[in-house]
């Protein structure tokens, strides 16, 4: 199975299924002598793990990570870092009724068509549970980037038609919705109570902000920094759109308003989202990521089975009514993996360039 490795120099390879024995990852290309302990990774995993509020899946996984290799006496050795998380709360029987049926909106049909076989338990490899290992690998990348003064944070800016009027990424850690505007929490609670009663789901938009990245990172033409970041974001389950800076709003803007004017102190605006010509300009990189509603809802519907017969379907199991509520640490991780890889690539080619920053 191809497509399980991300990165060129700093590489993350993940393995495992939603209802398998364990999830695992290999992080290769990590610089040596970086202080690293389990707690550094666990802190990020705890932000993502299920069952933390009544508004997310109630699957109970502690997502306890083990470091198997690549770390000695509390520091990275430069060799591959092996990571593993054991699955503990699988309820595979919940998926017996979809063994031969294709769930609408899921990868069931496409996996069957590509491989001629699929793990129907919780979606197997296509499950969002796979993202736990991305968060684990991203935690290592975030720690390295922090030594360079680069910080990455994310928060939900829109759920359904409820949009944030103000953005405080710090506040996103202080509510059950990872929302950036605390004034909207009461409205969101009322909305989710109705959503759960209707046995339905909803989409979300998340802001990912990369702060402190020096100018000059990224490459022109085929490997633009924004293109690489978009690939990183789009590789996350349920992501359907990625915008950089002003994003889709540029359609209604004029060039006189969209261009970011420069003065001695820097840029007067940031419609470019911190990237010009595919290369970072030193401003915050703002990425807006839109995720679709969870496809697994308990409303009865119809579908087709492996014999292409129309059949009734009712999905069982424990699912998030909004996948965006737990997506922030996942998207942060992918941004970190991408940015660190791009920094290392830049150092490899442009080590002799003296930059002002």
Task: State residue 298's pLDDT score.
Answer: 78
To the nearest 10 degrees (0 to 180), the angle between helices 38-48 and 131-146 is 130
Task: State residue 320's pLDDT score.
Answer: 82
**What is the tally of structural domains in the chain?**
1
Task: State residue 68's pLDDT score.
Answer: 98
Q: Is residue 161 part of a domain?
A: yes
For residue 146, what is the domain's CATH number? Answer: 3.60.150.10
Cα 187 to Cα 208: distance, rounded to the nearest angstrom? 23
Q: Is residue 339 part of a domain?
A: yes
- What is the rounded radius of gyration, in angstroms, for the C-alpha atoms of the chain? 21
Q: Is residue 354 part of a domain?
A: no
Cα 63 to Cα 45: distance, rounded to the nearest angstrom? 7
How confident is the model over 128-161, as pLDDT tens digits? Answer: 889 999 999 999 999 999 999 999 999 999 999 9
Cα 26 to Cα 153: distance, rounded to the nearest angstrom? 24
Q: Is residue 52 part of a domain?
A: yes
Q: Is residue 293 part of a domain?
A: yes
Task: State residue 50's pLDDT score.
Answer: 66
Cα 320 to Cα 65: distance, rounded to the nearest angstrom? 23
CA distances from 53 to 159, 175, 205 (A): 17, 10, 20
Task: State residue 58's pLDDT score.
Answer: 57
Q: Is residue 248 part of a domain?
A: yes
Count of beta carbons in the 10 Å neighbourhood of residue 34: 18
Q: Is residue 20 part of a domain?
A: yes
Instruction: Compute the C-alpha angle 162/166/170, nearest 5°.
Output: 105
Task: State residue 12's pLDDT score.
Answer: 98
Choose among 21, 17, 238, 23: nearest CA to 118: 17
Domain holding 265, by residue range, is 5-349
Cα 146 to Cα 302: distance, rounded to the nearest angstrom? 49
Residue segments in the chain with a per-residue pLDDT below the cut of 70: 1, 50-53, 55-61, 89-95, 317-318, 356-357
């Amino acid at each position: 199975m191809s497509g399980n490795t991300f990165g060129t120099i700093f590489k993350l390879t993940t393995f495992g299924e939603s209802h398998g024995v364990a999830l695992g990852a290999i992080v290769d290309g990590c610089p040596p002598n970086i202080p690293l302990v389990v707690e550094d990774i666990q802190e990020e995993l705890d932000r993502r793990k299920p069952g933390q509020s009544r508004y997310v899946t109630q699957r109970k996984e502690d997502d306890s990570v083990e470091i198997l290799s690549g770390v000695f006496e509390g520091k990275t050795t430069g060799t591959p870092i092996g990571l593993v998380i054991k699955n503990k709360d699988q309820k595979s029987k919940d998926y017996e009724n979809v063994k031969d049926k294709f769930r609408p909106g899921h990868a069931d049909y496409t996996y069957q068509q590509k491989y001629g076989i699929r793990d129907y338990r919780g979606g197997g490899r296509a499950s969002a549970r796979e993202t736990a290992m991305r968060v684990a690998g991203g935690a290592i990348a975030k720690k390295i980037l922090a030594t360079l003064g680069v910080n990455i944070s994310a928060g939900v800016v829109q759920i359904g038609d409820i949009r944030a009027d103000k953005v405080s990424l710090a506040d996103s850690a202080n509510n059950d919705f990872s929302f950036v505007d605390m004034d909207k929490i009461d409205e969101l609670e009322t909305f989710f109570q109705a959503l759960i009663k209707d046995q339905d789901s909803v989409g979300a938009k998340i802001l990912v902000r990369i702060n402190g990245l020096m100018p000059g990172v990224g490459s022109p033409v085929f490997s633009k920094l924004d293109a690489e970041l978009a690939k990183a974001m789009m590789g996350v389950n349920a992501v359907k759109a990625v915008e950089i800076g002003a994003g889709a709003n540029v359609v209604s803007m004029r060039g006189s308003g969209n261009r970011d004017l420069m003065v001695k102190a820097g840029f007067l605006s940031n419609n470019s989202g911190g990237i010009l010509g595919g290369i970072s300009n030193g401003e915050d990189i703002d990425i807006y990521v839109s995720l679709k509603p969870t496809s697994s809802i308990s409303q009865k519907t119809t579908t087709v089975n492996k014999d292409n017969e129309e059949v009734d379907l009712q999905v069982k199991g424990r699912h998030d009514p909004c996948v965006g509520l737990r997506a922030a640490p996942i998207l942060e991780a992918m941004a970190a993996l991408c940015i660190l890889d791009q920094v290392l690539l830049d150092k490899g080619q442009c080590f002799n360039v003296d930059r002002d920053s």
